[in-house]
Structure 1
Amino acid sequence: MKVRKTVDQTIAFVTCTMLAFMVLTAVWQVFTRYVLNSPSTVSEEILRYSLIWVSMLGASYAFGKKKHIAIELLAEKLPKNKALALSIMIETLILLFAMLVMVIGGSRIVALTMAQSSASLGLPMGYIYLSLPVSGVLIIGYSLMTIYEAAFKKKTNLYADHLDTASNSGIEG
């Protein structure tokens, strides 16, 4: 799907850019501490909050690429129509979790923490916690795309695409 590819590329670009920024910030932190003998007061906080965002966006990306942990034993033993139903049910449960816990719960945390400021940066803490509902929305989008693929394109092998490639090339895995 073109939408999935665009979302994947956007998340990959944002997380890679943030990671490069984090490396530069860490180098700056080490330089100021050991060379200038005057440690940066904001770099540690920048790194901590950037790591939260990179982790949450990275988790969404991994979910969208189906590179997360999945137990496929039951789905592999079922006939195709039942495996499709199971895939749709699992994606629906994930969608509900992302909606209730990540988006709704995360939005409540964001609202509660907007009045709190971080120690060094003075940044509202709600912006840090915003990573939870943002990644929840991304996971919901990926779940909807996966449900669409399962329901309308009858794609059952949702998690083990790499296994098909390995078995077709004669590689045992």
Structure 2
Amino acid sequence: MKGINRIRDKINKTIEIISVSLLTVMVVAITFQVILRTAFEISITWLEPLTVFLFIWVSFFGIAYGFRERTHISVEVFYSYFPERIKRLCRRGDAILVVLVGAVIAYYGTVFALDSMGTNQPGLNIPSGFVYLVLPITGLLMIFFGLMNFINDDDSSGDDTLEETRGE
């Protein structure tokens, strides 16, 4: 189990590094584009599609990371009143749903990415499938994290409760 947890932690760290790097490039590109437009009235055509490409990848990596950390929005109002046995069933059901949704995203994302390889992304001149390649990657990560959450059935949903967030 420790080996799998180490793999999970390395995947998490990799997602963090990639997401922060892509987000940094995106912010720099947008800033550069704004400066060029306002100061020099010049527009580089490939910067906007690049930022959209980066935004899509950062967003989907964030989705996968959120499932790992169990930080997605959830309804805790009733959950907090459930007995521990029911909470455990809810967590396991949640993990199963994440795996199923991840499988659907991985399958159809692969189909969509492969189908899109024949067309080029305007402005970037790369196959559109590269933009959508994040879908099967995210789906596989969701499957992995869902299985990990199912196996490691702890109640670490985001590690912060509402009271801790408010400072109470």
The answer to whether TM tops 0.5 is yes
User: CA-atom RMSD, angstroms?
Assistant: 2.2
Q: Residue 159 of structure 1 aligns with which residue?
A: 157
Once residues 158 and 31 of structure 1 are traced to their aligned partners in structure 2, the CA distance between those partners, rounded to angstroms, is 43
Offset of residue 85 of structure 1: 2.4
5+ residue gaps in structure 1?
Answer: none
1:43 aligns with 2:41: no
SS in 2 for 1:139: helix
Which residue type is aligned with residue 11 of structure 1? I
The partner residue of 1:113 within 116, 125, 128 is 116
Query: Where does structure 1 differ by over 4 angstroms across 4 or more consecutive aligned residues?
Result: none
**Identity level (%):** 25
TM-score (normalizing by structure 2): 0.86
Equivalent residues in 2 for 1:84-95, closer than 5 Å:
84-95=88-99
* Superposed CA offset, 1:28-84 (max 9, x none): 212332333321111111111111111111121122112110123444333323322
Once residues 35 and 72 of structure 1 are traced to their aligned partners in structure 2, the CA distance between those partners, rounded to angstroms, is 49
Aligned length: 163
Q: Residue 54 of structure 1 aligns with which residue?
A: 58
SS in 2 for 1:68: coil
Equivalent residues in 2 for 1:12-161, closer than 5 Å:
12-100=16-104, 102-150=105-153, 155=154, 157-159=155-157, 161=159
Offset of residue 91 of structure 1: 0.9
Q: Residue 11 of structure 1 aligns with which residue?
A: 15
Offset of residue 135 of structure 1: 1.1
Compared CA separation, residues 9 and 25, structure 1 to 2 (3 A)? same
5+ residue gaps in structure 2?
Answer: none
TM-score (normalizing by structure 1): 0.84
